[in-house]
């Protein structure tokens, strides 16, 4: 059973389009992190959200943590080919530092 | 932040053999973890590498199959024992210093 459901699994869009990736769970997380992974590399942390309802912006990326700390979303505005990669959400339970990863979203931004 | 290196970066092994993966961190860290990423999949936590004591394994992973050493606060090894093709994965070392950082991974192919 996947504790963190991530959708969509695959996304192919044209440069300049907007997109949203969702991460949902029935469990409450003490924090939720978003990573981007490129082939041959480990995941790179984009953001950590901790407070329910929190919104963080990183240039064209907007991250939101649900009020109940069970879900999160990543919105990319005006996607660029450099945004191509595997996006992973990961929840931390019980402040244990152990991460449960979502299934991932493979994003392809076509020029 | 933390800079993590892993050796080897990749290997091709015969079934029935064992491979030891090394993880080196550029600073002393308390929390160190090993993850597995099967082909086209997300990351799954194998175990927490505890300095000075036995590793703590997640459900579905056992010490006989994945023995772990953690001799100090900057170094750990993960051994994949008696390998089968199902062990073909990327194995990633991670440390947490408030935020989580990942090594580049070791891509293992078992024939």
Q: How do residues A52-103 score in pLDDT, each as one tens digit?
A: 999 999 999 999 999 999 999 999 999 999 999 999 999 998 777 889 999 9
Nearest to B81 by CA among B59, B66, B101, B62: B66
Q: How far is A33 from chain B (nearest CA, A)?
A: 9
Q: How far is B63 from chain A (nearest CA, A)?
A: 18
Residue A2's pLDDT band (cuts 50, 70, 90): low
* Closest residue to B45, CB basis, from A45, A88, A99: A99
**pLDDT tens for each residue of B2-25:** 899 999 999 999 999 999 999 999
Residue in the structure block whose two tokens are 């939101």: A64
Nearest to A29 by CA among A60, A4, A11: A4
| Cβ pair B45:A98 closer than 8 A | yes
| Cβ pair A42:B104 closer than 8 A | yes
- In B, minimum Cα distance to A41 occurs at B104
């Amino acid at each position: 059973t996947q504790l963190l459901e991530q959708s969509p699994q695959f996304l192919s869009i044209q440069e300049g389009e907007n997109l949203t990736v969702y991460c949902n769970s029935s469990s409450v997380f003490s924090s939720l992190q978003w990573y981007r992974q490129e082939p041959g590399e480990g995941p790179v942390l984009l953001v950590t959200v901790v407070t329910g309802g929190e919104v963080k912006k990183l240039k064209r990326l907007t991250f939101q943590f649900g009020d109940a700390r069970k879900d999160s979303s990543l919105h990319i505005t005006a996607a660029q080919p450099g945004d191509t990669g595997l996006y992973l959400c990961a929840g931390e339970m019980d402040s244990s530092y152990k991460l449960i990863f979502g299934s991932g979203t493979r994003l392809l931004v076509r020029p | 932040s933390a800079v993590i290196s892993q050796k080897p970066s990749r290997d091709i092994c015969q079934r029935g053999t064992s491979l030891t993966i090394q993880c080196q961190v550029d600073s002393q860290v308390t929390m160190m973890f090993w993850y597995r990423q099967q082909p086209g999949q997300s990351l799954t936590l194998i175990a927490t590498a505890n300095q000075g004591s036995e590793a703590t394994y997640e459900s579905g992973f056992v010490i006989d199959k994945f023995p772990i050493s953690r001799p100090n606060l900057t170094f750990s090894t993960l051994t994949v024992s008696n390998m089968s093709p199902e062990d073909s994965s990327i194995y990633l070392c991670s440390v947490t210093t408030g935020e989580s950082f990942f090594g580049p991974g070791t891509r293992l192919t078992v024939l």
